[in-house]
Structure formats: structure tokens, C-alpha cells
Structure 1
């Protein structure tokens, strides 16, 4: 029974050079009709797949704050109307420092949003321009201060590392500025060159100078050390939190638990079935109008697939995968399935086994994908 909801707002006022998420330039888009169809999808989804309560909601994009205050307010009100929120829920909205004014922040807080994820990426002005962002470094601090004035007490900042021509000194300065902010959570991801992006076109022509794997690994170590000194706990490969502020919603994914996905291109995992919504706006909107649901693809997850996912999602967490939790979920001992893989990775220094759980080592954190692929099984 899902206890988490993801809502996708696919509109942006500017398209970032690295982004491969489902998004559309805002101008001349049917935003109001899209929001109304999201309500229809929400209503039909909760009717067909009811739940007792929802503990986390995440509104992402695209850029949710590219909507007007009224449009964003209507969408959020429908979330509150149809989904039964738990007493201690977490409700996050992604915020672009360039488009989040005080009225929007106040409206979100009044409706019930209690966490913001602010897309800073870097505090270097030249790098912001290079990656296609439309805000200035000072906009981040301004947004944080306005959010606090609006009543928010749970703020997260998104950072990127390994950007084109990014130096260690630039990254260190970004870290210095981010830990000086009154925030509770930081997500930091390495740049990945994805198809159908501006950066991919440049990279394929040899026109995108990258820092290199060694420097990127050094940045990751700098990140871990700096945030530890600043009082943040490293609880997932890319995520750090002050005590008690770990992301409930993201832990849903890493614990491989079920969740609703609403909106164009959204993914969901409900009653053992993974679904993908149509991404293009016309296809999404027509599907909802015709059938009430926008599914492009549906896949029943087998037990083998579920065990694989449990391993490589769970190993992203610093506390790893528990033997007891694995047995309770699948009715079989983890080592009866993955004994050889675990022993080999322990011997290679990529995993540690403390008897109650397995976890990535410090070296394993740098080579996570190589570890995860070892837990892919042939279908039984």
C-alpha cells in the first residue's frame, strides 16, 4: 500500500543544459488544463488504489515554482484534498531560486508544504551560466531567508559536482557558502551526460571539457569531509542531513517501497506493478481525458526483480541492507541468493558485512554502480 506520492510539474522558464527530465518550455503551454488533468489522475488513482495514509509528498519537475501562485496553490490543494496525509507527514516542493517569490513560498506553507528542495547546483556565477541556470548565487541565500520568514524549518539544497571545467577551488567555495546557510539537508550529485541534452551534443563533438574521474572523486571526498565537520550525517551516497532531517520521501525509493506517481512522465510503483506515464503533454493529456489514466507502460515486478532492486537501492544507504529486513520481506535468507556476490565484494574491499547488514565501504561509495550490477540475477 503506497505511502508516498510524487507529482510532476514539467514546465520550466529555462532549460538547463544537463537536464534530461521530462520538461517543456513554459511559454504558450496549456498549464491550467494540465493541472486540471492532474486532479483527474489523482482522483482516479486514489479511487482505484486507495491507501490508509500518505507519509510523504514530493512535487518536482521541471520547475514547480514556474507556475503562478494561483496555479501552484490549486495543484497543492488537490493533493491535500485527495490524499490522506499522516500526522507527521513530509511534503516537499522543488524550488528554483530564480522563480520562488515570497507569495509562492507563503502559499505553499499555508497549504501544508513543510519542506523545500532548493536547486542551487553551484555558487559560482560563471558555472551557473555555463550549465544554463537562470539564477545568481545570491538568489539562493535570498530564497532561504524568505522561506524561513514564510515559516519553513526544513530546507534542502541541491548541489552538483564534476561540472565542465569546474576546479576544486570552485567546489570548495560552494561548500563554504552552503554550510554557512541555515539549512537542514544537502543533496550533491555528480554531473552525468545524458542523451537529448545540450551537454550531450557538446560532449559528442568533443567540446565539453570535463574535470576527470580523479578530480571528481577528490570533490566527493571533500564534500563528505566538509559536511561531516559542519554537522551533517552522510546517510545515502549523495545525501546528507542534520539529525532527524533525513528525507522521508527519498528513503521510500531507497527502501524500495511503493509510491504513487502523478503527472506527465511520472513513474509509480503500486500493488507490485511499476507504471510509466506518457511523457509528451498531448499524449498525457489525451490519455487522461479518454481513460482517466495516462499509463504508457505497466510491468508486474517479479520476486527476482524485487530482490535485485532491494539490494541495489538499499545499498545506496550508508546503513546498507539488513539481513532481517530482507528475510521479512522475501521469506528467504539474503545469503541463500547472494552469498557469492557478497563474499566477492567483501574480498574486493567494496562491501563490509557486520553480521546484521551489508554496507558499502568508503571505496565502495566511489564505485557504487559496479557494486550494484553484481546483484542482477537471471530470471528464475
Structure 2
């Protein structure tokens, strides 16, 4: 079976006010030791879980901020996983505009990265300051254009909406600005208030988002792009993202990364020093059949993957058919598909009731 590979870089130049991900500001004295620990875990897990050569379809380097790590420190990882890649594998790295220099981009491309996902978040400087971003709108545009000039095959940006400065007109302008860039993918997320972040003490920074979500969707779709998940749009559909929603098995490498193989979810230590000291240790969470079905339903309804009718119990099948008759779901070739992603969670809860 084909696998996905996720590699987590746990370093950031600064911590954004909304970010609840496992990352560390500074601590750059740990970079080399951390990258060496990634190598150890990667070698161990490829062997431990009997990953066969030619079976990794996608690689995603996320964070944190992968562009804070020099390409030369990534080279040993690429040497380890390259024999396990399928032909024409998709290899993505996230990057921030302020740290994705031409040297860094050129080095990553030389290693084999063929897709860059930029954490742009906004093209308005006042909103970037509110979010705690370290770049401005000019940096964002320049970094994407630089990557395009270097010949990366696929480029994506992230946008955040539902913040205090946002208005319908500004949200529409955000999307218009995005389409001025040489990209083929947009991930657009509403602001969420995460526990333990600076925004937890400032809930007023979030606006209600349903109208803005519709503006984002309609403006992007009017350009002929496809919405293939509630927050993801593209001319190119990210194969790594689709792999998650299709419930493919994946390795999670790094401090705070998560993997899932078979019926087991695997959690390496989220404490960076502990991870460096013992990159092989993982907390294991067993998943029963009911939990797996629930996850497949939630993921399927949020995306173009849909729900395979074979996983539905008889009571679920009755609810699925009721939703189809009400034209809230579409049925095709043994699968049910959501026609309104904004209702995905409500529909999932109804099906699972």
C-alpha cells in the first residue's frame, strides 16, 4: 500500500498569535541535533513498519517553519527516503516569506522539492501585524514570484479570514491579490482561537465567518478552480492532502508529529529535548472500527473523497438515503458526496447519531 510521509520542523523565527502547533521560537542551538534525531527516527520507522521501496507517494515538510533550516541539513533525510519514493512523487515544503530566501529555495529545489506552500495569510499589512506575522505583503508577493522564477512545479499560499479587520470587500480583495501571483493552490482557513495562544485572551479578534467563507469560495470558484476540501482550492489538487482524506497510512517524523499506520495512531514526544534524546519513543493510540468509520465520515464529508457506502451500518445507510433525497448529499458509484462543505460537521453528526 502507498504511504504518505510527514516531517515536522519544530522551529520558528517568531510565534504567531493564533498558532497552536508544536513549535519553538529560538532554540536554534538544537537545530543540528534535531535534524539528526529526524534521521534516526526516519531510518527506524521505515524499517520498523516495513515500508517498501517505491511506496511513498508524497512527502510534506511542515512546521513550525521549515525555511528556518538550511537545505544542507535536509540532505541526509532526502538520501534516506528517496529510494522509498514512487516515481513522480509530490514533495512539498512549507515556507514563510521572510525566511524563504533565493538560496534556501534553490537548495530545496536541488534536493527534489517540487511544491512550496507559503504561509502568506494576508495581503494587508495591518492584518499581518494583528496575526503576529513577521513579513509584510511585499515580502509575500516577492517570495512567491521568486519561487516561480526558480521553476518550482507547484506553488500554494495560505490565507486566513474571519479576523477583526476583515470585511466582505477586503476578503474579496485578498483572493484577487492571490490570483495575481503564479500559484495553483490556495488553502483558506477561518481564524480559530486555540488554547494557550495569545489570541485566547483576545477572542474579539475573531469575526463570524460564514459570509466570508462564502465569498472566498465563490471568488475562487469563479476563476475556474476546484474546491476539493472545505478549506482547499486549486487548479492542482495537493496529493498529500488528498491522501489524508482518503485515509491513507502515513508516517509522522519529528517532535509532535502524528502518524497513523493500520489501526494505530503514533505520537512521538512533543517536547523537543525529549524527542532528541529518544526519537524512537512513541505514545500509541489504538483505533477501533467504530472510530475509524467516524473519522472516514468526517473526512469524506469535508472533501471530494465522500463516503463509501460499504462502511455504513444499516441505520447510517437510512440516514444517508434521507440526506440524498433531501439533496444534501449526492450519490455516485457507491459513494455519497457532500454538496455543501459548510454543513459537513452537522451532516456527519446526523449520520452518526
Q: TM-score range by the shorter chain?
A: over 0.9
Among candidates 73, 77, 93, match of residue 71 of structure 1:
73
Q: Secondary structure at the match of 1:30?
A: helix
Task: Tell me the residue number matched to 1:19.
Answer: 19
Contact persistence 1:73–1:107 (CA under 8 A): no
Contact persistence 1:7–1:266 (CA under 8 A): yes
Does residue 275 of the first structure (1) align with residue 266 of the second (2)? yes
1:28-87 deviations in Å (ceiling 9; x for gaps)? 44110010011000010011112231110000000000113433444444443xx51100
* CA distance in structure 2 between the aligned counterparts of 1:348 and 1:201, rounded to whole angstroms: 42
Contact persistence 1:256–1:314 (CA under 8 A): no
Consecutive unaligned residues of structure 1, counting only runs of 5 or more, are none
Shift of 1:103: 0.9
* Superposition pairs of residues 73-222 of structure 1, within 5 angstroms: 73-80=75-82, 84-203=84-203, 208-212=204-208, 216-222=209-215
Instruction: Indicate how the Cα distance of structure 1 residues 337 and 266 shifts in structure 2: closer, same or farther if over 3 A, else same.
Output: farther
Among candidates 367, 372, 380, match of residue 343 of structure 2:
367
**Matched residue count:** 351
Task: Tell me the residue number matched to 2:306.
Answer: 320
Q: Secondary structure at the match of 2:108?
A: helix
TM-score of the superposed pair, with normalisation by structure 1: 0.87
* CA distance in structure 2 between the aligned counterparts of 1:30 and 1:375, rounded to whole angstroms: 47
Task: Tell me the residue number matched to 2:254.
Answer: 263
Among candidates 302, 308, 311, match of residue 288 of structure 2:
302
Contact persistence 2:159–2:189 (CA under 8 A): yes
Instruction: Indicate how the Cα distance of structure 1 residues 73 and 168 shifts in structure 2: closer, same or farther if over 3 A, else same.
Output: farther
Shift of 1:172: 1.4
Shift of 1:221: 1.4
Structure 1 runs of 4+ with >6 Å offset: none
Contact persistence 1:161–1:188 (CA under 8 A): yes
* CA distance in structure 1 between the aligned counterparts of 2:73 and 2:109, rounded to whole angstroms: 15
1:261-294 deviations in Å (ceiling 9; x for gaps)? 0000111111321111110112212222xxxx13
Shift of 1:349: 5.7
Among candidates 228, 231, 245, match of residue 254 of structure 1:
245
* CA distance in structure 1 between the aligned counterparts of 2:12 and 2:277, rounded to whole angstroms: 21
Contact persistence 2:192–2:206 (CA under 8 A): no
Shift of 1:359: 1.8
1:231-281 deviations in Å (ceiling 9; x for gaps)? 211111111111xx2111111110111100000011111132111111011
Instruction: Indicate how the Cα distance of structure 1 residues 117 and 16 shifts in structure 2: closer, same or farther if over 3 A, else same.
Output: same
Contact persistence 2:191–2:206 (CA under 8 A): no
* CA distance in structure 1 between the aligned counterparts of 2:57 and 2:130, rounded to whole angstroms: 38
1:133-180 deviations in Å (ceiling 9; x for gaps)? 011111222112211222202111111111133212221111111011
Contact persistence 1:319–1:359 (CA under 8 A): yes
Shift of 1:344: 5.0
Instruction: Indicate how the Cα distance of structure 1 residues 294 and 373 shifts in structure 2: closer, same or farther if over 3 A, else same.
Output: farther
Contact persistence 1:2–1:258 (CA under 8 A): yes
Contact persistence 1:77–1:111 (CA under 8 A): no
Shift of 1:371: 2.2
* CA distance in structure 2 between the aligned counterparts of 1:275 and 1:94, rounded to whole angstroms: 22
Contact persistence 2:11–2:28 (CA under 8 A): no
Shift of 1:108: 0.9
1:163-216 deviations in Å (ceiling 9; x for gaps)? 13321222111111101111111111111111010101222xxxx24322xxx2
Contact persistence 2:246–2:305 (CA under 8 A): no
Q: Secondary structure at the match of 1:306?
A: helix
Task: Tell me the residue number matched to 1:357.
Answer: 335
